[in-house]
Amino acid sequence: MSNDYYATLGVRRDAGADEIKKAYRRLARELHPDVNPDPETQERFKEITQAYEVLSDPKKREMYDLGADPFAAGAGAGAGFGGAGFPFSDIMDAFFGTAAARGPRSRARRGRNATLRVELELAETAFGTTRELAIDTAIVCSTCTGSGAASGTHPENCDMCHGRGEIQQVQRSFLGQVMTSRPCPQCGGFGSVIRHPCPECSGDGRVRTRRTIKVRIPAGVENGTHIQLAGEGEVGPGGGPAGDLFLEIVERPHAIFERDGDDLHCTVQIPMTAAALGTKVTIETLDGPEEVDIKPGTQSGQVIPLYAKGVKHLNETGRGDLMIHVNVETPIRLDEEQEELLRRLSQLRGEERPPGKFAPGQQGFFSRLRDVFTQG
């Protein structure tokens, strides 16, 4: 053999196609003329490119392994490096890490995704609901059924690229003759042209319209939840497949409840006497009125839970809880009789001069400061 292509690329003789391609790409980045214009480097770049053309082609590699060099004299005249049969574009595709599409492109392309905001009440997000939604979208043109051509006609073969969707040019460079390909400017790479566009869609293969769909909203969704509806988005150009529709849930504020995950919170105000003596209050829940027992001695800020009265868990069984926060109202204005009764009560309880107490976690500033230095 006149050349050891395996040694040129620095790979074993049993190297796989991926290993050979990886070795070539690594060397090509180092030796490419745009990176290193030195004449010796350019010659080395020709060598590794020639080696890669042989070892990346199963037939040429088999011929080489049997002892024949495809680039040697008589082994394939006219197929040498830079010759008319040299697939330089394939080598460049390997160097840049992408393979250019060959042949005409399809007119049918996937449609865009769409997002629609859906406003719901708390009861709807808690238990789920069904909505009919009106959507402005693109659908397949019924006149041309997506082809884009007027009735009785069809796309015609492009006379510039002859249906290939690309045109090729041969240019001379330091590597010899290089053949490059680019999309056909006349047909845009489709390989065909629409001489008589459909008057309904102007050749796009789709028209815009408003349609209505029925959507089931699952129980437990919350503000900001996105629901994906596959294939309910816009139809693509050329009658291509539709994109997806995403529903963005917007939960309206509730007059009574605040939501925290699947739990609900509300506040009930009771008089001081009711807190001291105990009482029963009726609370309006998502399931209807519920009677709640306020025990004697209930303090302001105390929380009374109603279990499983919150929002249903999304995609699970069970529900969150309803947390009732009690706010005890202290009377502001008292008449003489009321004031006398309260004074009498304070005397009976020995509370004429009630001593102040620090509740746990309510220390003053200097006490906290002292604790810091004591711990230090």
What is the C-alpha to C-alpha distance for residues 322 and 337, in angstroms, rounded to an integer? 39
What is the C-alpha to C-alpha distance for residues 133 and 119, in angstroms, rounded to an integer? 11
Taking every pair of Cα atoms in the chain, the longest distance, rounded to a whole number of angstroms, is 125
What is the C-alpha to C-alpha distance for residues 280 and 125, in angstroms, rounded to an integer? 30
254 exposure class (CB count in 10 Å sphere: 0-12, 13-18, 19+): middle
DSSP 74: T
Burial 71-95 (b: 16+ CB within 10 A, else e): beeeebeeebebeeebebbbbbebb
DSSP 330: P
Helix extents (H) in the chain:
5-9, 17-31, 39-55, 58-65, 88-96, 122-127, 272-277, 336-348, 365-375
Q: Tell whether residue 141 is among the known ligand binding residues.
A: yes
Q: Tell whether residue 161 is among the known ligand binding residues.
A: yes
What is the C-alpha to C-alpha distance for residues 56 and 40, in angstroms, rounded to an integer? 24
Q: Tell whether residue 266 is among the known ligand binding residues.
A: no
279 exposure class (CB count in 10 Å sphere: 0-12, 13-18, 19+): middle
Residue from 45, 63, 83 nearest 1 by CA: 63
Enumerate the known binding-site residues.
141, 144, 158, 161, 184, 187, 198, 201
Enumerate the known binding-site residues for Zn(2+).
141, 144, 158, 161, 184, 187, 198, 201
